[in-house]
């Protein structure tokens, strides 16, 4: 198998996340950068990028967007 064939095969995989999930994460990131993204019951300001992404994906799941299940901790 040539590297070119491997690249074609890689592109044919199904996307893990839907477009709606991407939009939700993008919105959460913008809110984080503005400093208005809040988290949980305490409504504390989100400081980390990872937490902002997690909030965006969580919101997407609630809306029914295509997002993989959470990994068990």
Per-residue pLDDT of the chain (73 residues; tens, 9 = 90+): 666 666 656 667 888 999 999 999 999 999 999 999 999 899 999 999 999 999 999 999 999 999 988 887 6
Report the pLDDT value the prediction gives residue 26, as an integer from 0 to 100.
96
Residue 7 lies in a domain: no
Domain range enclosing 32: 15-63
Per the structure, the count of domains in the chain is 1
Question: Model-level pTM?
Answer: 0.74
Residue 73 lies in a domain: no
Sign of CA dihedral 53, 50, 55, 35: negative
d(CA 6, CA 9): 5
Residue 2 lies in a domain: no
d(CA 20, CA 67): 9
Residue 69 lies in a domain: no
d(CA 29, CA 56): 8
């Amino acid at each position: 198998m040539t590297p070119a064939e491997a690249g074609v095969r890689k592109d044919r995989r199904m996307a893990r996340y839907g477009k709606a999930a991407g939009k939700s994460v993008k919105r959460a990131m913008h809110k984080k950068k503005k400093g208005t993204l809040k988290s949980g019951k305490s409504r504390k300001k989100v400081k980390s990028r990872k937490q902002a992404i997690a909030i965006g994906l969580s919101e997407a799941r609630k809306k029914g967007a295509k997002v993989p299940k959470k990994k068990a901790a």
